[in-house]
Amino acid sequence: MSSIAFIGGGNMASCIIGGMVANGFDPLQIRVGTPSQSTRDRLSETTGTTSMADNHAAVAQADTVVLAVKPKIMRQVVEDLAPALSHKPIIISVAAGIPVAALKQWLGSEMPVIRAMPNTPSMVQAGATGLFTQSDLTTEQRSLVDKIFQAIGYSCWVSREELIDAVIAVSGSGPAYFFLVLEAMQNVAQELGLPEQIAEELSLHTALGASRMAMESGISAAELRDQVTSPGGTTQAAIQSFQQHGLEDIFRSAMTSAVARAQEMSKDFSS
C-alpha cells in the first residue's frame, strides 16, 4: 500500500485529503505534517488521517510527498525536509509560481518532482488541476498522481512547464472570473428591480445550468451560444453589446496579465 505524506494542512491540502478519503483512499495511507494543533485535530476528526508536528516523521518512508505550504516559506520547508528524503519519494508541489528547477535545487538530490496547479473548486470535488513533470514516472507513479487529483475533480498533464502558467490563467485564477461575472449579474439584476435573493439565485442557477449543458451536451460553447441566440431577440441584443465592448479582448488582456504575473513569480523563485 502506497503511503502519502502532506506537508501543510491548510485549505488546499485539506480538500485534497478529503477528496482522496471520499474516493477510496485508506486514511491509514496518509500522514500530514503541520505545526498547528487545531489543524491536526480537525484533520484527524474529519478524515481519520494521522497528523503530526514533525515534518521529518511525516515523510519517513512515504512513497509520495505533497508540498502544500505557502510559496513564501516553501524554500525553508523543503531545505529543512531534504535530509529526510533520502529514499527519494515522488515530490508534488501545489504551490503557484515555483518552478521545478528551484524545487530540485532546494531538495539537493535527484527525485521525481511534479508541479500541480489545482483550483479552489477542488474544495467541493469539482476542481481542475494541471500537472507537469520533467521526470520519467513509472506507469504506477503516474496513475497514483492521477488518482490523487481526480479525487478532487478533473486533471490533465501539460507537456511543457511554461504551460502551467497558462493553466494558472485558465483554471487557477478562472473561478474568480466567474465570481466576478456573477457579482456583476447580481448587481445589475437588482438595479433592474429584482430582489437581492432572487437575483442571486437566478444567476447561480443559470451559471450551474449553463456549465452542465456545456459539459454534458458534447456541443461547443460557440454552438450552444448560437442555439440560445435567436435573430433579433433579447439574447442577440445582449451578445452584440458584449462584442461591441470587446469582451474577448478584455478576457485576453486579463488572462495574459495572469500569465505575465506567474512568469514574474517564477523568476523570483529562480533567482
Angle subtended at Cα 269 by Cα 103 and Cα 254, rounded to the nearest 5 degrees: 115
Every domain of the chain and the residues it spans: 4-161, 174-264
In this prediction, residue 2 carries a pLDDT of 79
Instruction: Give every CB contact of residue 144 below 8 A, 6+ residues apart in sequence.
Output: 2, 63, 64, 90
| pLDDT tens digits for range 166-184 | 999 999 999 999 999 999 9
Check residue 1 and give its pLDDT.
62
3-state secondary structure 4-61: EEEECCCHHHHHHHHHHHHCCCCHHHEEEECCCHHHHHHHHHHHCCEEECCHHHHHCC
Phi, psi (degrees; rounded to nearest 5) at 233: -95, -175
Cα 174 from Cα 255, distance rounded (Å): 9
User: Residue 68 in contact with residue 40, Cβ under 8 Å?
Assistant: no
Q: Which residue has the cell 479525487?
A: 151
Grid cell locating 162: 511554461
C-alpha–C-alpha distance, residues 73 and 92, integer Å: 16
- What pLDDT shows up at residue 267? 85
* Number of Cβ within a 10 Å radius of residue 88: 12
- What integer pLDDT is reported at residue 27 of this predicted model? 94
Q: What topology does CATH give the domain 174-264?
A: ProC C-terminal domain-like fold (1.10.3730)
Name the nearest CA neighbour of 100 among 115, 90, 86.
115
The CATH fold assigned to 4-161 is Rossmann fold (3.40.50)
Three-state secondary-structure class, residue 1: coil
What is residue 198's predicted lDDT score, i.e. its pLDDT?
98
DSSP string across 159-219: SSTTHHHHHIIIIISHHHHHHHHHHHHHHHHHHTT--HHHHHHHHHHHHHHHHHHHHHS--
Give me the amino acid identity at 227: Q
d(Cα 146, Cα 144) in Å, to the nearest integer? Answer: 5
The tens-digit pLDDT sequence of the chain (271 residues) is 679 999 999 989 999 999 999 998 999 999 999 999 999 999 999 999 999 999 999 999 899 999 999 999 999 999 999 999 999 999 999 998 899 999 999 999 889 999 999 999 998 899 999 999 998 999 999 999 999 999 999 999 999 999 999 999 999 999 999 999 999 999 999 999 999 999 999 999 999 999 999 999 999 999 999 999 999 999 999 999 999 999 999 999 999 999 999 999 888 887 5
pLDDT at 271: 58
pLDDT value, residue 268: 82
